Structure 1
Amino acid sequence: MTQCPAVLRRAWRGAGALALSALLLACSSTSGRPDPAPLPPDPKLLGLRQAWSVEIGKVAFPLVVQAVGNTVGVASAAGQVSLLDARTGETLWQIAVGTSLNAGVGHDGRVAAMVTTENELVVLQEGRELWRQRLGAPSYTAPLVAGGRVFVLGADRSVSAYDGQSGRRLWNQTRSGEALVLRQPGVLTAVGDTLVAGLSGRLVGMNPLNGSSRWEVPITTPRGTNDVERLVDLVAGVARQGSVLCTRAFQAALGCVDATRGALLWSKPAAGASGLSGDATLVYGVEFDGTVVAWRRSDGERAWSMNQLRYRRLGSPLLLGPALVVGDDEGRLHFLARQDGALQARIETDGSPIVATPVMAGSTLVVVTRDGRVLGLRPE
């Protein structure tokens, strides 16, 4: 492997409590990575301008930026949480939660939720703290705020639901799995009246009222002789079209599932660690070596691949109209043609890595860098 998340977590049960110890993933070091080829000239086929910029502080945790209408939630690693108006960059409200963060920011436009490094679920509304609850295990996945509830995916492969206003825990479902889990966001989303979570290499559809399982679909199954080789957690960044979800299993496979029927449509081997994007015909992703790939949504066969950005440590892509945008670890945004991957344009930010998958909020592309710069970009 030429790329990988830096840290995994080993989990086990003993004496009625959950313990965690860190384990470094055995993968290639930066010094052993091949040098990327020089970038081709910027063809400047797409015109974008910076509409606004906001500083939020260093982002050294797996931030997930969610857009609800024209509203986006962002946070610094130190726990400064903001809700922004993507049209202007104006801060709608801001609050410090008092400790550093592991996961966030999930929100529905009004209520925002995050998980601290102290394993506390903190829920905010209109710039004030509603409540906080201690969790039984860490979480690296942004909580899902939906239907007046807050849902949490734990590193012990538990899924819990809390009342959004009171913080009362409504239910908790826990299952055993492989010994390792990724220290990066997993899959937690809703399709209609079904809560969908990634547990090991499986997508699980749950009743959000009580946590009971409605269906389970394996994207892949663990293989190998040791815990690292058997790691198959599903990673955040789901390419959704209607009730069909396409998702990636870390370093193993990607597949599409009909969440209405709980049926696997297809699964294909793939070697990547980041999430997917897509439309009605194609699913897009980045492999470990930085090759950008488009797979046919109908059957999972490759439609095209592009290797001009290999070894540049790319993040998860975002489909943006006629282009696919992907950030790298030197603060660049690369815009590729959706039909064949040809380079369309390139934008420089502040030189620090793009830390979260870019999102569209209304007509604004919102991008966050590790040094804490939030940018709003619009077509010229």
Structure 2
Amino acid sequence: MTTGIKAMKRLPKILCSTLLIGTAALALVACSGNSRVRQPAALVPVSNQFDLQPVWSTSIGSSEPYNFHPVVAGDAVYVASHSGNLAKINLQSGAKAWEVSVPENLAVGPGSDGRTTVAVTTKGLVYAYDDTGKPLWNVGVGSEVLSEPVVASGIVVIRTLDNRFVGLDAQTGARKWIYQRQQSALSLRVGYGMLPINNEVIVTGFAGGRFGMIAIANGGLIWETPVSFPKGFSEIERLNDVSARPSMEGDTLCAVSYQGRIGCAQARTGNLLWFKDYSSYTGTAQSPELVFSANEKSYVTAFATKDGTQVWENVQMTFRDVGEPLAIGKVLLMGDAQGYVHALSQADGKMLARIRHDSSPITAAPIAVGGLILIQSQGGKIAAYSPK
């Protein structure tokens, strides 16, 4: 037990309440220890070399303590809050086309293809609406859901916390397929991001340092690849999950595991091109030549996509709990726990600009679409910015 407690004290504060462990006191000890050592770095002065000009902003309501992500489909962005607000917002104007109240609290943000929009409650009920906000159906999936749903090719893909993937008919809610993963002895109680590709497949991570590709049409596993392997003596030290959403650029997929490795693979086969020891729960972003990630200390690192050579590292945001990154143009964007959005140079990692979105954490990756940058905070503010 002593070894386990020491390992828990090394976990980042953001994960203290998300571990699936049987002893509540163990988590409490670890979290109280973290609060004394994880002091966020002071903001480094920066003279903005470009600006993100506000175009519109609105509020959907708080998502805390959960991590909600907006989703874009067509000319609209779909957003949700923990209290059950679900809305369709015009991408260019920020006007709400419709807003409904889901009957129960939500555990995860929406999924949508522009025709069917779904949200999942804290009790594992999936509610679906058509593109006018009219209710279509609701079904239970028998377990808690913390991963964002994917809606593609007439199928709603739900990933449950007990390692099941469920494919539901987007029009009726009828179950079309189910894919069951083996339960792990210990895993992170977080949402496992799913990356849809061409409305045909999803790429996602698994417990135990693995990630893979699943067919949307039938739930079949196309390939599965280990990016890292558990190591250590205690179950906590052996936590090794690929929980963050993988990224893709061209025909290269990259993924990172917590307490494990970062690596890139061929998208078609899953064959690993390279891997390096690394640890992150916020995921990766890619440009044609580089893959970017932030570790649990919020050190931001760039690796060469072709061979994994470290190109640069920025430690200016230590313990600011930066969120999932976005690589766009020549800039890397990411929010932090105090509501700031930081812009780094992809070439050398230098700080180029910073704005204050609001005062609550930004864990979801910014979204680049239609010449705009969309950002949603856990406090519920969603805004569109125009890069200038």
Task: Output one character per residue of 1:16-56: Cα deviation in whole Å (capped at 9) or x when no partner.
Answer: xxxxx9983846522222451x3222211012211111011
Q: Which amino acid aligns with 1:94?
A: E
Give how far 1:9 is off: 4.9
Instruction: Give the letter aligned to residue 287 of structure 1.
Output: N
Alignment match of 1:76 (pick from 66, 81, 88)? 81
Q: Structure 2 vs 1, CA of residues 24 and 83 (structure 1 numbering), >3 Å: closer, same or farther?
A: farther
Q: In structure 1, what is the equivalent of residue 343 of structure 2?
A: 335
Indicate the residue corresponding to 1:39 in structure 2.
43
Among 179, 187, 191, the residue aligned to 1:181: 187
Select 1:302's aligned residue among 310, 333, 336: 310
| Post-superposition CA distance 1:220-264 (Å, at most 9, x none) | 122222222222221233221133211111232112122312312
Using a 3 Å threshold, how does the CA distance of structure 1 residues 50 and 362 change in structure 2: closer, same or farther? same
AA in 1 matched with 2:151:
V
Q: TM-score, normalised by structure 1?
A: 0.91
Matched, 1:24 2:27: yes
Q: Using the alignment, how far apart are the partners of 1:178 and 1:168 within structure 2? A: 28
Aligned to 2:206: 199
Does the 8 A contact of 1:266 with 1:300 survive in 2?
yes
One-letter amino acid of the counterpart of residue 289, structure 1? K
In structure 1, distance between residues paired with 2:231 and 2:119: 33
Q: State the alpha-carbon separation in 2 of the partners of residues 22 and 112 from structure 1.
A: 39
Matches within 5 A, 1:96-111: 96-111=101-116
Determine the structure 2 residue equivalent to 1:280.
288
- Greater shift, 198-207 or 119-128, is seen at 198-207
- Bigger proportion of residues as strand: 1
Tell whether 2:148 aligns with 1:142: yes
Q: Distance in 2 between matches of 1:121 and 1:346?
A: 38
1:8 is aligned to 2:18: yes
Cα 1:145–1:331 shift into 2, 3 Å:
same
Query: Which position in structure 2 is the counterpart of 1:16?
Result: none
The 1-side partners of 2:385 and 2:268 are apart by: 36
In structure 1, what residue type is equivalent to 2:81? S
Q: Structure 1 counterpart of 2:191, which letter?
A: P
- The number of residues matched between the two structures is 372
Say yes or no: does 1:59 pair with 2:63.
yes
Partner secondary structure for residue 114 of structure 2: coil
Greater CA drift, 236-245 or 273-282: 236-245
Deviation string, structure 1 residues 114-171 (Cα, Å, up to 9, x no partner): 2210111222222122111111221111011000001111111111111110101011
- Taking structure 2 as the reference length, what is the TM-score of the superposition? 0.89
- CA distance change for structure 1 residues 22 and 248 in 2, over 3 Å: closer, same or farther? farther
| Bigger shift: residues 279-288 or 27-36 | 27-36
| CA-atom RMSD in angstroms | 2.2
The CA deviation string for residues 259-278 of structure 1, in whole angstroms up to 9 with x for no partner, is 31231222221122211111
Identify if the C-alpha distance between structure 1 residues 23 and 122 changes in structure 2 by more than 3 Å, giving closer, same or farther: farther
Amino acid at match of 1:221: F
- 1:357 and 1:250 map into 2 onto residues whose CA distance is 18
Structure 2: which 5+ residue stretches go unaligned? 1-9
Instruction: Tell me the amino acid that sits aligned with residue 57 of structure 2.
Output: S
Question: Is 27-36 or 243-252 further displaced after alignment?
Answer: 27-36
The 1:261/1:82 distance shift into structure 2, 3 A limit, reads: same
2:175 to 138, 149, 169: 169
| 1:312 lines up with 2:320 in the alignment | yes
Alignment of 1:360-379 (within 5 A): 360-379=368-387
1:305-324 Cα offsets, whole Å, 9 max, x none, are 01111121111111122211
- Matched residues in 2 for 1:355 and 1:194: separation? 25
Q: List runs of 5+ in structure 1 lacking aligned partners.
A: 13-20
Q: Does the aligned pair in 2 maintain the 1:68–1:361 contact within 8 Å? A: no
Contact (CA 8 Å) 1:59, 1:355: kept in 2 or not? no
Q: 1:2 and 1:225 mapped to 2: Cα distance?
A: 16
Q: Determine the structure 2 residue equivalent to 1:252.
A: 260
CA deviation after TM superposition for structure 1 residue 203, in Å: 1.7
The answer on whether the counterparts of 1:10 and 1:179 sit within 8 Å (CA) in structure 2 is no
Q: Does 1:225 align with 2:233?
A: yes
The secondary structure found in structure 2 opposite 1:365 is strand
| Residue 99 of structure 2: aligned partner | 94
Instruction: Give 3-state SS (helix, strand or coil) of 1:83's partner.
Output: strand
Contact 1:7 1:22 in 2 (8 A): no
Pairing partner for 1:112 from 80, 96, 117: 117
**Which structure has the highest helix share of the two?**
2
3-state DSSP class of the match of 1:159? strand
Counterpart-to-counterpart distance in 2, 1:223 and 1:104: 33
CA distance in 1, matches of 2:119, 2:309: 37
CA contact (8 A) 2:68 2:378 kept: no
Helix, strand or coil for the counterpart of 1:93?
A: strand
Any idea what SS the aligned residue of 2:244 has? strand
